[in-house]
Amino acid sequence: MSLQIYTAAPDSGDVVLGRTLPSLLDEAVEMYPNPKAFNQPKEGGGWLTLSNDEFKRAADEIALGLHALGYERGDHVAMFMNSDMYFTLVDMGCLIAGIVNVPLYTTYTADNLVYVAQNGKTKALFVSNDEMLAQAAEWVGRTDVTNVILAEGDGAGVSLPEGLTLHTLAALRAMGSERLAQNPDEPTTLREQIDAHDLATLIYTSGTTGLPKGVMLTHENISSNLYAALTGFKILKHQNENVVTFLPLTHVFARTLSFLSLAYGQSVYFSDPDRIVAHLAEVKPTFFVSVPRVLEKVYDKVLLGIRESEGLKKTIGNWALELAKDYDLSKENGGLNPIKYALADKLVYSKLRERLGLTRVKVCAVGGAALRPDLANSFSAFGIPVYQGYGLTETSPVITMNRPGYNRAGAVGQPIAGVEVAIAEDGEILSRGPHIMVGYYEEPEKTAEVLDADGWFHTGDIGEMTDEGFLRITDRKKALFKLSTGKYVIPQPIENALTEDPLIEQAVIVGNSQKYCTALVFPGMEVLRGWAKEKDLDANLSDEALLAHPKVQAKYEDLVAEANKGMDHWNQVKRFHLVPTLMTVDNELLTPTMKVVRRKVNEAFDED
C-alpha cells in the first residue's frame, strides 16, 4: 500500500520518549513546585488544596497501601469515581504501584459495569462516596472484586455483598504511611521497576457497535502524546497557569490533559457540569478544556439573551454576533475591520468574556466531537481562542491539533510531533507513532482489524488533507449507508449543516435501503421558544403542539432547504421529522462519550 505520509511541522513540538507517568510528577515537584497544584471544591464553597509535593506523598501512600493489601505489580483495579482530585490521586497511586487501573463510566448500566470489571480482570474497586458505594453494592457482588476502597465518607448504612471488605482511602493511606515509615526507600524502588512500555491503564471504548473493548495504553503512549501536544502550545507555561476541568476523567481526552497539567506544575481546579459556570467566574482560568456541546450551549444562551433584549441593546447585540460570524481564523486579526472589531469588543465581546469568567484564557482546547466552523470563528472573535484537535482513545488521544498561528475553522489541525498520518484509498484516516495503543485487551482478532502489519492504526474516520496540511473529518466509516438507488450517503456533512442553526440541537440522517434521506431533527427547545415568542406564538403550547405549529414546520423546512445547498442530490434531505426529546446517554441513543448509537436510533425511529 503506497501512502502519502503527513508529519508535524519542524517547530510544532517535541518528541519525548521513554518517560513514565510518575516521573512527570517527580520532575514537576522538583522543577515546578506549586502550593496550589490540585484543588477540589468543598461543599459550601472554597477549595481543598494540595501542593504537588503533598499530592506526591499521598500517591506514594496509596501505592504502598495497595501493596500492603496484598496487590502486586500487574494486578488490575477498577475505578468507579467522579472526575475529581481523588480520581487523579488514585490514578497516580496505581501507576506508582505498577497496578493497572480500569476506569468505569459512571453512566454505564449495571450489566456493562460488571462486564468491564470482569473483562478487565479487576480485583479491587475504588469508589468516590457513600452514594456511589450504594450504587456499586448492587452489582459488585457479580465481579471478582474482594476489596472496595471509599474515597470520601464512611460507608455507614451501605451493606456490601458477602466476601467484600470495605476500606476508606484514609485507612489505605495510613497503611501506606506505616509501610513508608518502615522503608522510606520503597517508593523509589517501585518507580525503578516501572518501564515506559508497561501497561498504565485499560480504558474501555463506549461501544457504539457492540460490547466495550479494553484499550491498552502504556506510560509512553500517554507521556509522549501529552509532551507533543503541550510543547506545541508555547504560550502555556508552568505554575502561573490556572486550569479548570469538568470533563470526565474516564475519557482519555481529559485524562491525558490532567497529566499534562501535572507535568507542568499547573494549578488544576476540578469542577463539574453543575458548578462550572460559578467556578469559571471564580478561578478565571488561563487554560480551559471543553467539548463542542458546551460551546454550542453557551452560544445558544448568548443568542437567546440577545433575542430577549430590546431596543438598542438588541440591535447592537445582533450586529456584534453577525460581525463575529465574519471572523476568519486563517486571517490576521480575523480579517475584520479593526475599528468595527474594537467597537464590538468594547460593547459586547468583553462583557461576554467577563460573564463567562474567561477574561484571562489563553487556550480553550476542544475535542471529543466535531466543532462547528462558525463557532470556532465566533468564539475566537469573542476573544476566547479555540483550538480544536482530533484523536481517539486508541491514540492516547491526540493525532492532530490546531495551535497558535496554525488554526483553521472546520479543520482539526496538523499532525503533532512524532505522529504520522495518512489517508487510505477509501478515505479512511490512518495514524502511526508512539501514541498508538498496544491493542485491545485479550482481543487479538479485533486488534488485527485496526492495526495492520506496518503499524498503521485504522481510525474508522473518513477525512482529507487540505493543501495547507490540515486534516478535515468528513464522517465515520461505519456511518455510511446505501440508498436503494445504489448511492452511498455520507451523513455527517448534512448533519453538521443542520446543527449550525441554534434551532437544531441534534440531527441524524437515516435512510439505509430507502429511496432518499430523512432527517431526524431534535430542536433546541429553549431557543425555539425564544424564536416563537418573537413570532407571537402561544408560549404555553406543549413541546409537541409547538413543533406541529405550521409556522414552526415552515421554519424547519427553510432550515433543511438551507442545509441541502451544495450537497450532492442523493445526500440531500427529502423528508424530516421533528423529535421533542433529545438523544441522551440515559435513553441509550448516545454512548458515554456522547457518540450517536446509530443502530439504536434507527430502531427507535423505524416507524417514523
* Domain CATH for 440: 3.40.50.12780
Residue 206 scores a pLDDT above 80: no
pLDDT per position as a tens digit, 221-269: 999 999 999 999 989 999 999 999 999 999 999 999 999 999 999 999 9
Mean pLDDT of 53-66: 98
Q: Decide which of 415, 444, 476 is a domain's last residue.
A: 476
Q: Residue 234 carries which DSSP code?
A: T
Domain match, 136 and 168 both:
yes
Tell me the whole-structure pTM to 2 decimals: 0.88
| pLDDT on residue 453 | 95
pLDDT per position as a tens digit, 356-402: 999 999 999 999 888 989 999 999 999 999 999 999 999 999 999 99
Residue 208 scores a pLDDT above 70: no
Q: Is residue 374 part of a domain?
A: yes
3-state secondary structure of 575: strand
Q: Is residue 206 part of a domain?
A: no
Q: Is residue 222 part of a domain?
A: no
Residue 210 scores a pLDDT above 90: no
User: Which CATH number belongs to the domain containing residue 578 in this structure?
Assistant: 3.30.300.30
Domain match, 502 and 550 both:
yes
Between 607 and 7, where is the model more confident? 7
Q: How confident is the model at residue 207 (pLDDT cuts 50, 70, 90)?
A: low
Domain match, 148 and 179 both:
yes
What is the count of structural domains for the chain? 3
3-state secondary structure of 65: helix
> How far apart are alpha carbons 521 and 178 in whole angstroms?
60
> How far apart are alpha carbons 552 and 554 in whole angstroms?
5
Which cell numbers in the block locate residue 349?
465581546
Q: How confident is the model at residue 209 (pLDDT cuts 50, 70, 90)?
A: low
Q: Is residue 211 part of a domain?
A: no
Which cell numbers in the block locate residue 89?
490521586
| pLDDT on residue 63 | 98
Residue 492 scores a pLDDT above 90: no
Domain match, 410 and 489 both:
no
**From 341-355, 526-540, 569-583, the region with the lowest mean pLDDT:** 526-540
Residue 549 scores a pLDDT above 90: yes
Q: Are 254 and 289 in contact (CB under 8 A)?
A: yes
Domain match, 57 and 115 both:
yes
| pLDDT on residue 487 | 81
Parent domain of 510: 481-605
> How far apart are alpha carbons 158 and 263 in whole angstroms?
38
Neighbours of 358 (CB within 10 A): 23
**From 69-78, 409-418, 473-482, the region with the lowest mean pLDDT:** 473-482
| pLDDT on residue 135 | 97
pLDDT per position as a tens digit, 299-312: 988 988 888 899 99
- Mean pLDDT (the chain) is 94
> How far apart are alpha carbons 264 and 599 in whole angstroms?
42
| Percentage above 70 pLDDT, the chain | 99
Neighbours of 570 (CB within 10 A): 16
